[in-house]
């Protein structure tokens, strides 16, 4: 496994240390907010303002930024374009990310047409489907490729990331093929636990999980409301 000490002389971010997962997730939010500020022509921003716009408190934001380095000016704030560039660099967004989407159902098409990708360093280079009827259709600038050409197309397009938008039954099989083809970063929308070698980074998004978490909190809120209600009734 990669050791920490040999990353000292590396890249744009002088701070070779790893970023805590929670901070990492928030940094992507800051980056997005800074992006909209850029288009609005905002040049400077304080940690307080940026935190407010990102929905966090300012000490947390400053701590998050401190994992990257010291890119602000005390007494003044942050230079929006500069900070934006530094976060991008730290996240590795200055590299070339070529994304293959496997599955061209509604979800795959939604992803292929997602406007947020191009503007943030990601290029969708391939879109696959198993259904012969949909193969060949054009989505934006992309033509849907047959899934049996997966390995060949991945190589010619030099894709280095993949998104799984296939039914649960097909997910593990597709994951295996992607891994065998050398893909090491996979984002899966399939509601299954994928098995893959540890060097493969897998992130998963599951809408049912998200709703269930909401349901849990909503249920607690209901119960709490009933409890205080009953209590109020007892007290009067």
Partner DNA sequence: CGTTGTGAATGCCTTCACAGCA
Partner DNA sequence: TGCTGTGAAGGCATTCACAACG
The Cβ of residue 58 has, within 10 Å, a number of other Cβ atoms equal to 15
CB of 205 to DNA, least distance (A): 18
Looking at beta carbons only, is 73 or 94 nearer to its own copies? 94
Query: Does the protein bind DNA through residue 198 (CB under 7 A)?
Result: no
Query: Per rule CB under 7 A, is residue 71 in the interface with DNA?
Result: yes
Q: Which does 66 bind (CB under 5 to 8 A by kind): DNA, its own copies, none?
A: DNA
Among 75, 116, 197, 198, binds DNA (CB under 7 A): 75
3-class secondary-structure state, position 43: coil
- Mark the segment that binds DNA (CB under 7 A) among 61-69, 104-112, 143-151, 183-191: 61-69
Residue 76 interacting entry, from DNA, its own copies, none, C-beta within 5 to 8 Å by type = DNA
**Looking at beta carbons only, is 74 or 106 nearer to its own copies?**
106
Q: Which residues pair with residue 161 across a beta bridge?
A: 99
Residues 16-35 that bind DNA (CB under 7 A): 20-23
Q: Rounded to the nearest whole angstrom, what is the least distance from the CB of residue 57 to its own copies in the complex?
A: 10
53 binds, among its own copies, DNA, none (CB under 5 to 8 A by kind): its own copies
Is 7 within 8 Å of 84 (Cβ atoms)? no
Closest CA to 94 of 15, 182, 31: 31
Question: Of the two residues 73 and 219, which places its CB atom closer to its own copies in the complex?
Answer: 219
Minimum Å gap between C-beta 122 and its own copies is 6
Task: Report phi then psi at 163, rounded to 5.
Answer: -120, 125
Ranges of beta strands (E only) in the chain are: 44-45, 72-73, 77-79, 97-102, 122-129, 138-139, 142-143, 145-146, 161-164, 185-188, 201-204
Nearer to DNA, 85 or 121 (CB): 85
- Number of residues binding to DNA, judged by CB under 7 A: 25
Which single residue is written with the structure tokens 């660099």?
89
Rounded to an integer, what distance in angstroms lies between the CA atom of residue 185 and that of residue 180?
12
Alpha-carbon distance 103 to 124, whole Å? 13
**According to the binding rule CB under 7 A, does residue 188 interact with DNA?**
no
């Amino acid at each position: 496994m990669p050791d920490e000490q040999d990353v000292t002389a590396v890249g744009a971010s002088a701070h070779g240390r790893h970023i805590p997962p929670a901070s990492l997730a928030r940094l992507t939010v800051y980056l997005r907010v800074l992006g909209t500020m850029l288009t609005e022509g905002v040049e400077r921003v304080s940690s307080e303002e940026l935190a407010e716009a990102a929905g966090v408190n300012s000490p947390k934001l400053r701590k998050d930024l401190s994992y990257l380095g010291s890119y602000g000016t005390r007494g003044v704030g942050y230079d929006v374009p500069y900070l934006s560039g530094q976060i991008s660099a730290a996240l590795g967004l200055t590299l070339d990310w070529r994304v293959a989407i496997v599955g061209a159902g509604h979800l795959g098409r939604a992803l292929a047409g997602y406007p947020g990708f191009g503007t943030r360093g990601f290029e969708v280079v391939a879109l696959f489907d198993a259904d012969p009827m949909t193969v060949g259709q054009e989505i934006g600038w992309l033509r849907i490729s047959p899934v049996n050409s997966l390995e060949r197309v991945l190589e010619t397009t030099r894709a280095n990331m993949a998104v799984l938008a296939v039914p649960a039954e097909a997910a593990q099989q597709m994951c295996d093929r992607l891994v065998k083809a050398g893909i090491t970063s996979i984002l899966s929308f399939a509601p299954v636990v994928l098995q893959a070698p540890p060097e493969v980074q897998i992130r998963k998004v599951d809408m049912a999980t998200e709703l269930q978490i909401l349901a849990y909190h909503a249920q607690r809120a209901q119960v709490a409301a009933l409890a205080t209600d009953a209590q109020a009734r007892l007290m009067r």
